[in-house]
Structure formats: C-alpha cells, structure tokens
Amino acid sequence: MTKGRPRARRLALYLTCIEIPLAPMAGTYKKWAADLQAQYNALDVGQRKLARQVGRRLIKRAGSIAIALASLPDPVVQLIQTDSPLGATRTRSRQRQFDELRQRWSALTPPCPSCRMRNGFPKRSWPTREWAYEVWGRQHDRDALRVYECPVQPGFWHLGHFRMAVLAHVTTALGALFDGVQE
Ligand SMILES: [Zn+2]
C-alpha cells in the first residue's frame, strides 16, 4: 500500500532538512505519515517554518520531491525502502559515518572549501544565518559556540568554538606578520 506515501515523503524531507531524526517506519505509509505528522506538529512554530522553507527550497532546486529525497542521507532513503535500517548504523566505522555525513551535507549545506573543523575535516556551511542559528540552538555546547559568516564564501555560515575563533584570529594576525602565511 502506498497510501500516505506522498505525505510521508514530504514530511520526511521537511524533518530531515532541520536534522530531526525520523520516527522509524513501521507498517504502512499511512501510519508512518501519521507518525511523522505528529513529530512535525511537536516542533515549535519557528522550526516548522524553517523546515518548510528549507524543504521547499530543496524541492525547487532538485525539480521534484523524489530527487530532493534522493539527495538526502542514506537513512532517509533506507527508511522509505525498509522497515528498520537504524540497527546497522551503529556498527559503521567512523570514517564511513563521516563519508555519509558529507553526502548528507551536499544537499544544501556543503563542506567549506577553506574552513576546517578541529579534526581536520571541512566545516559544514549553512546557506542562511537563521538555519545556522537553529542548529546552534540544539547543540549541547552552544555556550562555547558562535555562528559566523564564512570568510571565503560570503552568504554561507559556520558554527565554531569561541576558543578556536580566537586562535584563528591569532593565526591570521601571525600570518600577516609573516607575510601572508596562514592556516
Ligand atoms: Zn568557510
């Protein structure tokens, strides 16, 4: 039975856009659509608005909701095809997890070509300040984090730790002292 599938798809896309883990699919699409709707209804107004905004933008950019969904992380695609994909996720290696993370970023939040995280991997870029703030608001260590515009990609926003930001400043200043040596 595919009744409820279009609604489930749209809601899955919206929720995934703001990184809400989806309720597992159990039973019919109709049942899943109802579960996702309940998750969506439980969000606050601002989150719902952002999810719709980002989801619609993604659909528009992709040309169809099916293509938009296909550009999202593996788990969502799996959720649409199988019943319980999450068990397998835990056994994956870190590298594999990061590869998947990067795949997931490519939709609207690409890795920065310049800025790096502490582990050396590229930083994630958010295309709007509101979206970056929304993600910031859900970080457990948000007191140590700030949202800032990427210095090399205007219009994209990063999350960064305060201390690292200070270090970056110092590095930049030192770089200037040493005639443009940076990073
Ligand atoms: Zn950057």
Please give the chain's pLDDT, 183 residues, in tens. Answer: 578 888 988 998 888 777 777 888 778 889 889 999 999 999 888 888 888 888 888 788 777 777 777 666 544 444 444 333 444 444 456 566 567 667 666 567 888 888 888 777 788 898 889 889 988 888 888 888 889 999 888 889 999 877 544 444 444 444 444 443 333
What are 130-153's pLDDT values in tens digits?
A: 889 988 888 888 888 889 999 888
Q: For position 89, what pLDDT does the model report? A: 46
Instruction: Output the pLDDT for position 138.
Output: 86
Tell me: do 74 and 99 sit in the same domain. no
Q: How far is CA 108 from the centre of its chain?
A: 8
CA of 112 to the centre of ligand 1 (A): 5
* Ligand 1: centre distance to CA 157 (Å): 7
> Is 140 strand, coil or helix?
coil
- Same domain for 168 and 98, yes or no, is yes
CA–centroid distance, residue 122 to ligand 1 (Å): 8
Given the DSSP bridges, would you call strands 111-116 and 145-149 parallel, antiparallel or unpaired?
unpaired
- Looking at the structure of the chain, the number of domains it has is 2
On whether both 14 and 68 belong to a single domain, the answer is: yes
Query: Residues 103, 40, 7, 36: is their CA dihedral positive or negative?
Result: positive
What mean pLDDT value characterizes the chain? 73
Structural domain includes residue 183: no
Ranges of H-type helices in 18-155: 29-42, 45-62, 65-70, 74-81, 86-89, 94-105, 129-136
The structure tokens listed for 100 are 């998947």
Give pTM, 2 decimals.
0.46
CA of 61 from ligand 1 middle (Å) equals 22
From CA 30, how far away is CA 16, in angstroms rounded?
Answer: 19
- 32, 101: one domain: no
